[in-house]
Amino acid sequence: MINTKLYRVLSKFSKKDLNRLDKFIRSPYFNTNQEAIRLFEVVFSSLKKNKTISEKAAWGLINPEKSFDSKKWRKNLSNLLSIVESFIIQENLEKDPLAQYEYLLKGIKKHKFDELEKKVSQNSLLSSERRKEQSGDYFYRRYQIEKNVYNLTTQFQKKAQKKNISAAEDMIELTKTLDLFYLIEKMRHGIELLTWKRMYKSEIDMLQFEFTAKLIEKSDYLENPGVNMYYQIYKALHNQDEESHFFTIKELINTHLDEFPWEEQQEILRSTINYCIGKGNKGDSKFSKEALEFYDYGIDSGLLLVDDELSPTTFRNVVTFSLRSGFIELASNFVSEKIHLINETYRDNALNFNLARIHWYKKEHDDVISYLSKVDFQDIWYNMDSKTMLIATYYEQEEFSVLENLLTSFAAFIRREKSLEENRRKAYLNFIKMVTKLIKIFPVTNEKLDKLEKEINSTNPMISKSWILGKIVLLRK
């Protein structure tokens, strides 16, 4: 039975939610199917005892006097799953007071409950105005409430209101609320597409989003923190050289971030960090420091955690940016203090790889090799990054025979690895090619170094370009 969709869904419920579902299923308002109740009792008992039960055994408990009927069994599963879905709807509705007002207002209009109209209209508008939130979802809900309140007004009342144009004013406010929803969501979609465009080096037509950004610039909607936040993030990612957008984002985060839903706070923080990473990768050290500040805030606040755990990628990024900024001790302290946040499955790899990187910056090359020998290379990214670090380490130690063998085997691995995106494959292969050329220069002359330097500068994409160029500088006579 554990392979059924019903069982898999219910196994993800907390004990508290299962108890609430039990009450929901037993309520005759929501369910009158007695077989569904008995089936739930069997599944609930199995989950509480952490013991699996076969489909035929479950059937025997529900219908002890009937032989197993697969068609009827599937029907029972489907019926109970439908009730579970209704429960999920009800639970989410209970947690969304604005949605409740929206459906209440629709019910008042449909059934002509004139006695409720005035009070509910006032309370719904007051509730939506008091709720200090800047998400697109919030403005959509607020729009629905304002529209339903407007629709409750009779034609007679609308005509009477024309004398003081209050009806027109109501419609203008209603439209503005709709605009806020649209502009926030449009900019969020634009941000996501810009991220994809940069990550996958793909051609995506952003003209419609540029049009929306220009509409925002010509309006007073930038006064709304939600619109302004996503507009500034979009503009920053669209043109990374225009740094003023970043500092506006930073100010908005300091003053308004808590007005967004938790998921959107995470989204905003990640987008801001991605901007800093992009700038830091171009050599702007001040943005590496900015990234570290946001990482610290995100980890301490929990915004960068998933189920109270820190991803190995985020962990690695913090160490990398700390080292790039010259904060070796900070990186060491971070590793020792935050390693427990990484899931136990990935913890050893994260620890050994990042300690190797720290020792690399300390120029303690024997320790680099020691820690990298403990890294599990089954993870492709640890494999590639570890071998890249080993190449640099063997070069520094002048272990050129070992280095040549590693360059050959690493190139073969990169060529046959199917999961690699083509641009990334080229970046690694170009790195291997240039390191190979560097170690084969003999005798070393400035003329040969100049030629290689020119080739390196014109080669794209390529990882660790600055490191190789630094080696050329040291070889000059």
Amino acid letter, 463: I
- Nearest 10 degrees: CA dihedral of 440, 444, 447, 450? 60
Q: pLDDT tens across 284-294, in order?
A: 888 988 999 99
DSSP string, 329-351: HHHHHHHHHHGGGS-HHHHHHHH
Residues 6+ apart with CB under 8 A from 123: 101
Say if residue 73 is in the same domain as residue 138.
Answer: no
Tell me: do 126 and 174 sit in the same domain.
Answer: yes
| Burial class of residue 114, CB neighbours in 10 A (0-12, 13-18, 19+) | exposed
User: Which pair of tokens denotes residue 198?
Assistant: 């940069």
**d(C-alpha 317, C-alpha 325), whole Å:** 12
Same-domain pairing of 55 and 150: no
- The residue from 131, 156, 181 where one domain ends is 181
Residue 247: what pLDDT?
A: 97
Do 395 and 477 share a domain, yes or no? yes
In a domain, 409, yes or no: yes
Statement to judge: residues 381 and 474 lie in one domain: yes
Of the CA atoms within 13 Å of residue 95, those in its CB half-sphere come to: 5
Give residue 380's Cα distance to chain centre. Answer: 21
pLDDT at 156: 44
Residues forming a β-bridge with 306: 309
pLDDT for residue 12: 94
The per-residue pLDDT for 168 is 75
Calculate mean pLDDT across residues 337-343: 97
The pLDDT value recorded for residue 253 is: 98
Last residue of a domain, one of 48, 68, 94: 94
Question: What digits encode the pLDDT tens for the residues 109-149?
Answer: 999 998 999 999 999 999 999 988 999 999 999 999 999 99
Q: What is the pLDDT of residue 421?
A: 87
pLDDT > 90 fraction of the chain, expressed in percent and rounded = 81
CA distances for 426 relative to 370, 411, 420, angstroms = 29, 10, 10
Tell me: do 383 and 475 sit in the same domain. yes
Mean pLDDT, residues 201-220 taken together: 92
Statement to judge: residues 34 and 62 lie in one domain: yes
Let me know if residue 347 belongs to a domain: no
Which SS3 state, helix, strand or coil, does residue 443 take?
Answer: coil
**Same domain, yes or no, for 471 and 400?**
yes
Return the HEC string of 60-87: HHHCCCCCCCHHHHHHHHHHHHHHHHHH
With a cut of 70, say whether residue 159 has pLDDT above it: no
In a domain, 32, yes or no: yes
Residue 205 lies in a domain: no
Q: Is the pLDDT of residue 169 over 90?
A: no
In which domain, by residue range, is 132 found? Answer: 112-181
Average pLDDT of the chain to the nearest whole number: 92
Conformation bin of residue 363: beta by default, left when phi > 0, alpha when psi is -120 to 50: left
Identity of the amino acid at 46? S
Q: Judge if 120 and 43 occupy the same domain.
A: no
Q: What percent of the chain shows pLDDT beyond 70?
A: 97
Q: How many structural domains is the chain composed of?
A: 3
**Domain edge (last residue) among 159, 181, 203:** 181
In a domain? residue 327: no
Q: 459 near 430, Cβ under 8 Å?
A: yes
For 382-412, letters b (16+ CB in 10 Å) and e give bbbbbbbbbbbbbbeeebeeebeebbeebbe
Prior bond of 461 cis (ω within 30°): yes
In a domain, 290, yes or no: no
Q: Are residues 30 and 84 in the same domain?
A: yes
Q: Are 131 and 150 in contact (CB under 8 A)?
A: no
Cα gap 4→25, rounded to integer Å = 19
Please indicate, yes or no, whether residues 26 and 78 belong to a single structural domain of this protein: yes
Give tens-digit pLDDT for 96-114: 999 999 999 999 999 999 8
**Statement: residue 278 has pLDDT above 90:** no
446 in any annotated domain = yes
Residues 89 and 116 in one domain: no
pLDDT in tens, 423-458: 889 999 999 999 999 999 999 999 999 999 999 999
